[in-house]
Structure 1
C-alpha cells in the first residue's frame, strides 16, 4: 500500500500539574493515533507547543516517561503570547505516514475546541470534537 506523510493536529486544555499534563497528553496522543489508525512505527516526528502558564512538566518528556514515542523525534516550544489566547493549552502536530488518500482526523479536547470555532462539528461527546481533513465532522 502506498503511503505519504501527513500532518495530524490536535490540542488539549490542562491544568498546571504534572499529573494533569501527563494525563491530557496521553489522552490526546492516544486519541489521535486511534482516530487515524496510526501505528507509532509510522510516526516521524512530534511537535508540541504549550502556553506559558504550563510549567509543571514538558509534554514530550511526559510522553517519553509513559514509554511512548520512543523511536521518533520530539520537539517542544512555548507558544508566543497573543492577546486573548486561551490559557492552559498544549498543541500537537504529528508527522506520520498513512495510506495515500487517508481522511486525516484532528482532535481538539478538554476546552481546546474553542481554538477552532470554524470547525464547530462535535463527536457527540461533551468537551471533545474531531474533524476530518476536509473540515467536516466525521
Structure 2
C-alpha cells in the first residue's frame, strides 16, 4: 500500500493519540507525516518542508481551537498560499456550531468532521481521512 502523507494540526495530545491508535488499527500507522500543535507551527513546518524538498502533504487535518493561531486563521492562510491551496483540508473539531462549519467551508475546507467519541468511530473517521489521500 502506498503511504499517505497526512499532517494533523491539533493541540490536544489525547486527540493525537486517538488518531495514532486508529491509524495503527488500520495498519497505516506510519502514514501521518506530522503531528503539530498549532497553526503557526504547521505553517512554519510546511514552508520549511516545501523549501527543502518541495514536499506537500496529501491531506491536512485541522482542529479549530488551538493556541497561537486557531484553525480558521490557519485555513485562511493555507488557502491563500499557492503552494498549499489545492491540498484538501478537513476540519476536525468538537464544535457542532453550524456558523463555524459554514465559515470553514466558505474558506475552502473540503469537509468538516466532528471529533468522534469511541475508538470505533475514530477508526471510521481515519478511514475517511485516508479516502481523501487516494
Rg comparison, structure with higher value: 1
Q: Which has the higher contact order (CA 8 A, sep 6+)?
A: 1
User: TM-score band (shorter)?
Assistant: 0.3 to 0.5
Question: Which has more strand, going by share of residues?
Answer: 1
What's the TM-score once normalised by structure 1's chain length?
Answer: 0.35
What's the TM-score once normalised by structure 2's chain length?
Answer: 0.35
